[in-house]
Amino acid sequence: MVKFAMNLVLEKYKDSGFKMTPQRLAILEYLEGNTEHPSAEEIYRSVIRKFPTMSFATVYNTLEMLVSRGRVMELSIDAGKKRFDPDMVPHHHLICRRCRCIEDVFEDFSIDVSSGTKRNFEVTGHHIAFYGFCPSCQDKNDKG
């Protein structure tokens, strides 16, 4: 099963234009289907178990390369750290103000941007971040 998953990851990223090392493959495997919106640090902590000599720079540089090639989205919705989203389908996010968990929202919101607001920009997309408290943090408020 692991080999099958690895082949799917290789197939998905074969046209990304960078050398596929075992370390990069481990990063891609970690990202595949990941809905946690991990930071580079979280990815590093996970893949270093398999590759103890891997540097943080390898993780960061791989993520930057994936972002520049449009294969991963960089989310700057957490002021403390960048988060990464491998799901390139257009979507929005719910963000918990307490625990910082992030949930995907796959709903289209119609936003009409007036020509004065656009200031001659060609708008090609938008992202909406909704902030609040996740169910777990709401329970803590009720009990705390």
Residue 76: what pLDDT? 83
Q: Report the percentage of the chain scoring pLDDT > 90.
A: 56
Pick left, alpha or beta for residue 122 (phi over 0 → left; psi -120 to 50 → alpha; otherwise beta): beta
Higher per-residue pLDDT: 19 or 86 = 86
Which pair of tokens denotes residue 39?
């930071």
Residue 17: what pLDDT? 72
Q: Report the percentage of the chain scoring pLDDT > 70.
A: 86
Residue 1: what pLDDT? 45
Tell me the domains of the chain and their CATH numbers. 2-83 (1.10.10.10), 89-143 (3.30.1490.190)
The answer to whether the pTM exceeds 0.75 is yes
As a whole number of angstroms, the distance between CA 25 and CA 47 comes to 10
Which pair of tokens denotes residue 71?
């294969």
As a whole number of angstroms, the distance between CA 63 and CA 21 comes to 14
φ, ψ for residue 73, nearest 5 deg: -95, 135
